[in-house]
Structure formats: C-alpha cells, structure tokens
Amino acid sequence: MNRLSGEEWQGGHYLSVPLSSHTHTNAHLQRHTRTHTHTHTHTFTLSRVVPSVAALMTWLHSAAFTRRLARSIAYLFPSGLFDNKAKPLMKHPDEVFPKQRAVQWGADGRPFHFLFYTGKQSYYSLMHDTFTKALAVEKHQDRLRGKGLFTQDAKQISLVGSRWLLKEELEELLVETISDHDYARFIQLMERLLSLPYCSAEEDFVQRYRRQLEIQSSKQQVQPLQYDQHGVAYSTGDGRRKTATGTVLLRDSGSGSISINGTNYVHYFPVLQDREQLMFPLHFMGVLGRFDMQCSVSGGGHSSQAGALRLAISRAMLSFLSEGQVETMRQAGLLTPDPRIKERKKPGQEGARRKFTWKKR
Amino acid sequence: MRSKELSVERQTGLWRCTDLRKGLCGLRHPWLVSAGYSCSGPFCATAVAVKTLPLQTASTDVTDRILNLPLQMPDFFRLSELFSLKDLFDARVHLGHKKGCRHRLMEPYLFGSRLDQDIIDLDQTVEHLQSALNFTAHIAYRGGVILFVSRRRQFGQLVEITAQDCGEYAHTRYWQGGLLTNAPIQYGSGVRLPDLIVFLSTLNNVFQQHVGVRDAAKMNIPTVGLVDSNCNPSLVTYPVPGNDDTPAAMELYCRLFKMTINRAKDKRRQMELLQGLSAAGLTPGS
C-alpha cells in the first residue's frame, strides 16, 4: 500500500481509497486516477466539523456527544435487554432472607438477655412476662377482697370474633422456633390469665396475641332489588349442579306459583324429593306463599336440575333478605354450590372405583 | 528424672519409638537402646518454657491492685453481717426430708433426726454458706457470668426475678442436653459459658440429680449448690446444706445472693473509681 504524501494527508482526505502502486511512476495517469478516485470516494473532512485536535477531545468528552452516541447505538443495535418488562422479577430482601438474630452478646462476652442460657430466650421471656401479669392481677384481686370491693361481674375482655395467634405466626413474632408442646403451654397460660375476673387490666397485652376473624358472609355479593313497571319487586338468580344449569325469576307479592320451562312444577317434577328441594329455601326462611317463580333449566337429570334450581332460588332470595338472614342461609348451606361431579374412569379398572374381577388363577 | 520416666514407661509397656529407634521396638533388652539416645522423644523432652515478662504499665498495675486486693482479706465484702444463725432458723433452713429420703453422703451435714425428720446442722450451714457467698462475691467482683438454676416450678419466677435484679442469668426451664457441653453449636461460636452456676435446688422434677451439676463438672465450671437431705453433694464445688422446699428459706437465699452480687459489683465500681482517681492523681505529679 502506498504511503500517502504529506500534502494529501494534510489536505484532509480522511477516508480515501489508497492509490494504486503504478500511479506514482506515471504522472499523467496519477492525475487521472486521483481525480477518478476523488469523485468516487467518500470524504469526511474533519476540518470542516472541528477546527483542532483539542476541540475534538472536548467534543468527545462532552455530554452531548455521549447522548448522541447512546442514541445512535440504541438505533443501530436495538436490544430488548433494557426494557422495563425484561427486568428480572426480584422479591423484597425481607422475603428472601428470613429474619435472623443479631449477635446475642456484647464485647465482653456477656449475653444481653437474662434468659439467654435457656436457648429459647424470647419464648421463655414471653412466658415469664405473662406469668408476672397473672400474678399482678391476682395480687390486685386479693387487695380488693381485703377491702371488700371484690365483685364477680367485673368488665371482661371481649374475645368474640378473634382467634389466638397460630404457631407459625408466634414463631414469626418471636424470631425463634418453638415446639407444639411449647405453643400449647403458651395458650394454656393465656387462658389461665383470661380466667381471672379482673383480667381486663391486661387487655392490650392479650389482644397483641389475638387476630380478628374475617366474617364469611360479608364476602357474599347481593344483587340490588329491581322493580318492574307495576312496582313489583323482582330478582334473578342462577345455579349449577353437576351438568344442569337453571335460572329463576323471583317476583314479590305473589301466590307461590312456580313454572319451570313453561310447565307447572308438579308436572315437571313428579318426584316428591325434587319438589322438596325447590321448596326448602322458601320453607327455611318462612316465605312459602310470598314469591312467584319462573324457572328455566337444562342439562343433567331430574335430581341435578332440582339442585340447580334450589341454588338459583337461594341466590335470588338474597336481595329480599337482611344480613343476619343471609348469614343464617349461608350457615344452612343453601348458598354453597355442590362441588360433586362424576368421577372419571381410570385405566386398568372397570369404573371409577370398581376393579376388574380378581381371578386367583 | 529421665531414667525414672523411662523405667516407668518400660514397665507399663508404653514404649514409644522415635524415628531413630523404630526398628528396635521389638528388642528384648530395650535398656541398651535407652543408654545412648538423646533427650528428644515426645515423652521425655524437658520443656524449656521461655517466659516473656509482660511490660509493666500503669494500667496493668492498677488492674492487678484492683484484682488482688480482695484476695488478701478473708471477708473483704463483709458478708458475715448479711445473715446469722437465727435468721436461718427462722426461715426453717434446718428442716430436711424424712429418714427414708436421706442420701448417704448427706449424713455428715445432719445434726440428727426428730420423729423421723432429718435436721440439718446449722453451724456447718453457716460456714458453708459463708464460703459460698464469699466465692460468689469474688466471681461477681471480677465480672463473671453467674447462672442461677432451679427446676422447682414453685420458685421459678422468684429465681428469674432475682437474676434479673442482680444483672445475672437464670435457667429455670427444661434443660436441653448440650447447653454446656455442646455450646458453640447450640448458641453460635464464640459464646461465653457461665463462670459460676448457683443451684438453688440440685434435683429436677423427677427427683434425680440435675444434669447441669454433672455438665458443669465436665466443663470445669465451679458450682454453688443448695443440697437438701435427699441430694448428692459430691459433684458440687461449694455445697450448702439446707432446706430447698420452704418458700421462706428460698426467699432468704435469693435475697442473700442478690445482696452479695450487688455488693460485689458496687465494690468493683468503687475500686475502679478510686484507683482511677489515684492513677490520674499520680501521673501529672510524678
């Protein structure tokens, strides 16, 4: 490859095709090839952009250049690696690393907690505190008895709607593993504290180890009542049982007439058991003659259709009832869909459970 | 010394060969070998311990004085004024168990028996209790870890409160097997074991000797133990014969130990202040 002459280099031909080897021998050919190559080469004259090397260095280190460079790379080499959706899903460190205890003793080796040498300092400390409180309550009671002010009907702590902490929750609270026996002893001690008549002084302490129960019926979704053009209230409900589905339109201020798929319920369900299933929700709430029902049902057999309609009637009735009545219906099992379906047949057996006849030989 | 050791080794048959004499182990007359060998075997080397004297600085002088001063007096903490024989009698410390429960090794400590109930000799109890409290005070003065142990459910709360009040430790619960012997694994490495264990009852719930007595003896931890007439005093370093069943007696003991330990710790703080002041006073002057 020919070395470019100093003149050409300083002229600023930054990217130019190297001259062929024979050009420097023939001057006229050289001139020809120079002009030829001149028109076909891409020339980037740096001197037009940046006046000096110092200015070039400044430009290369500037923020504007960095931004331009980043944009150019992102455009030329598109990558999904830096998308927000491509970021790894990481859990919070508290979920990954369980809570561990710090070092239990100081620089001189003396442990901080006075029950350290038992091995389960948090649990035994809790038992110690609970027992101290029980003793304090008993002492208070004795003082009242001495003054003659002791009464059995002192204010009690309300425990309705709450439950004791589970063993796992207690372990989490104490940051320590405890055995079933230890947990049972703890609950026993708390119950003993609660059995004292004047235990209301320690209510805060006791409530720290109880959790509120969620009321199940508040999860029921009750549709609001609808009114037709005559002002009669009505509501709909649907239910499923095995492969049967049924819908019901319940109308208020009726006479207790029921029609299923256009026919009377006595003709549709000749079997007494199926009619009883239809009646049961109304009979349970004592509103037998109040509603008119228009039902439609399909699929399944007669028994499953009756069950589907029963669930549909119960759901439709919810709009007419109060919260307490809804809770009663839930506890009676009227609002629970029956999950039983036909069990599948397994290979190697004749049915779901029936095996082939066992032959001794 | 060398030949005596060798003869002993020969007799007991513990002749251990170094690399020079490996081939001669089976010889019938090993004393021929012994005549010429140099004193370089593992059982014969005379240990030349080069003692490097520590640099005597002002702080070590003060610390030595603080630590050595209580050892020069028999009753530095004046613990004999904490209790008297009459206090022990009023707290019913002299009442032991019935004759059938008596432990053979407790017979030297008994005064006698009345209507089959053993009576503990309170003169001996006073001496033993005095020395036990003195020892506890010295341990507390030197910042030792003291562990109170009792497996009696009646007095568990009392013992724990006593330990809390004097800033020491208590164990009145189920004793897990390796608490002392397997401590680095149970608690973590670098744990400091107790320097003194005080047994306010040496028996456990099934009237057998508490495991801690044996474990402390294994781990070379001194023990102070309250031994009733049905207990075994042999493994306890400072046995104190006395009643461990009456609430009055237990309250007395807990009070005594608490006062001893608090007194010792207060004395230590006092000494440090005094010595610190005197050291500060000396250095600018000298």
For chain B, what percent of residues have pLDDT higher than 90?
Answer: 70
Chain A residues within an 8 Å CB radius of B186:
119
Q: For residues A267 and A299, is the Cβ–Cβ distance under 8 A?
A: no
Show which of A64, A96, A128 is a domain's final residue. Answer: A96
Q: Classify residue A79: in a domain, yes or no.
A: yes
Contacts of B157 in chain A (CB under 8 A): 128, 131-132, 135
User: Both tokens of residue B10?
Assistant: 């020969």
Show which residues on chain A lie within 8 Å of chain B, measured between beta carbons.
Answer: 103-105, 108-111, 114-120, 124, 128, 131-132, 135
Question: Residue B94: which pLDDT band, with cuts at 50, 70 and 90?
Answer: very high
pTM, to two decimals = 0.66
On whether both A11 and A57 belong to a single domain, the answer is yes
> pLDDT, tens digit, for every residue of B28-55?
544 444 444 444 444 444 444 455 555 5
- List pLDDT tens digits, range B254-273: 999 999 999 999 999 999 99
The model's confidence at residue A247, banded by pLDDT at 50, 70 and 90, is very high
How far apart are the C-alpha atoms of A122 and A113, rounded to whole Å?
Answer: 9
- The CATH number given to whatever domain includes residue A268 is 3.30.230.10
Mutate to test the interface with A, among B148, B157, B258 (most CBs of A within 10 A): B157
| Closest CA relative to residue B138, chosen from B215, B96, B82, B196 | B196
**Does the pLDDT at position A127 exceed 60?**
yes
Query: In this structure, which amino acid lies at residue A326?
Result: V
Q: Which of B269, B261, B253 is nearest to B164 (CA)?
A: B261
Q: Which of these ranges, A187-191, A225-229, A266-270, B201-205, has the smallest mean pLDDT?
A: A225-229
Q: Do B169 and A104 touch (CB under 8 A)?
A: no
Q: What is the ipTM metric for this complex?
A: 0.77
A84 with A140, same domain: the answer is: no
Same domain, A253 and A196: no
Given this model, what pLDDT does residue A51 score?
74
Interface test with A, best of B176, B181, B187 (most A CBs within 10 A): B187
Q: Does any domain span residue A247?
A: yes
Same domain for A28 and A80, yes or no, is yes
Q: Is A112 among the domain residues?
A: no
Which candidate from A114, A117, A120 shows the least CB-CB separation from B194?
A117
Query: Can you give the residue range of the structural domain that contains A179?
Result: 118-212
**B172 → chain A, closest CA residue:** A118
Contacting residues of B for A126, CB less than 8 Å apart: none
Q: Is residue B282 scored above 80 in pLDDT?
A: no
Q: Is residue A2 part of a domain?
A: no
Tell me the shortest Cα–Cα distance from A128 to chain B, in angstroms: 7
User: Which residue shows structure tokens 């209507």?
Assistant: B115
Write out chain A residues lying below 8 Å of B192, CB-based. Answer: 105, 109-111
B147, B188, B190 ranked by CB distance to A117: nearest: B147
For residue A229, what are its two tokens?
Answer: 């053009």
Chain A positions in Cβ-Cβ contact with residue B143 (cut-off 8 Å): 108, 110
Which amino acid, one-letter code, is at B269? R
Q: Does B145 sit within 8 Å of A109, measured CB to CB?
A: yes
Residue of A nearest to B187 (CA): A119
Give the distance from residue A159's alpha carbon to the nearest chain B alpha carbon, in angstroms. Answer: 28
- Contact at CB, A128 and B179, closer than 8 angstroms: no
Task: Give me the sign of the Cα torsion angle B105, B109, B111, B114.
Answer: negative
Angle, alpha carbons A350-A351-A352 (nearest 5°) = 140
| C-alpha distance from B164 to closest chain A C-alpha (Å) | 6
pLDDT at B61: 82
Cβ–Cβ < 8 Å for A127, A209:
no
In this predicted model, what pLDDT tens digit does every residue of A277-313 receive, in sequence order? 999 999 999 989 899 999 999 999 999 999 999 999 9
Answer yes or no: do B169 and A115 touch at CB < 8 A. yes
- Number of domains composing chain A: 3
pLDDT at A12: 43
Chain A: closest CA distance from residue B168 (Å): 6
A231 and A197 share one domain: no
User: Chain B residues with CB inside 8 Å of A103's CB?
Assistant: 188
CA B212 to chain A, closest CA, distance in angstroms equals 12
Q: Do B169 and A117 touch (CB under 8 A)?
A: yes
Flag if A124 and B188 touch (Cβ within 8 Å).
no
User: A266 lies in a domain?
Assistant: yes
Residue B134 pLDDT > 50: yes
Rounded to an integer, what distance in angstroms lies between the CA atom of residue A256 and that of residue A287? 9
**Residue B52: predicted pLDDT:** 53
The alpha carbon torsion through A195, A198, A204, A207 (nearest 10 deg) reads 20
CA–CA gap between residue A264 and residue A292 (Å, rounded): 12
> Mean pLDDT for chain B?
84
pLDDT at A323: 86
Whether residue A217 is contained in a domain is answered as: no
Q: Measured between beta carbons, which residues in chain A are less than 8 angstroms from residue B179?
A: 117, 119
Q: Which of A105, A119, A131 sits opposite B176 (nearest CB)?
A: A119
Assess whether A286 and A250 both reside in one domain.
yes
Nearest CA in chain B to A132: B157
Q: Please, which residues have CB within 8 angstroms of residue B139's CB and are 6 or more apart in sequence?
A: B146, B195, B196, B222, B264
Q: How far is A110 from chain B (nearest CA, A)?
A: 7
Q: Which two tokens stand for residue A354?
A: 């029936």
Task: List C-alpha distances in Å: B45 to A238, B5, B7, B144.
Answer: 99, 11, 15, 37
Quick check: B187 and A119 CB within 8 A? yes
Average pLDDT, integer, range A249-278? 93
Chain A residue with minimum CA distance to B157: A128
Q: How confident is the model at residue A48 (pLDDT cuts 50, 70, 90)?
A: low
Residue B144's closest chain A neighbor by CA? A110
Give the pLDDT band of residue A17 (cuts 50, 70, 90): very low
Q: What 3-state DSSP class applies to A295?
A: strand
**DSSP states of B166-212:** HT-EEE-S---TTTTTTHHHHH-TTPPPPSEEEES-SB-TTSSB-HH
Tell if the CB–CB gap between A114 and B169 is shorter than 8 Å: yes
Q: Does CATH place domain B92-183+191-274 in 3.40.50.10490?
A: yes
pLDDT digits 0-9 by tens, A153-177: 888 888 888 999 999 999 999 999 9
Residues of A in contact with B169 (CB under 8 A): 111, 114-117
pLDDT > 70: what percent of chain A?
A: 85
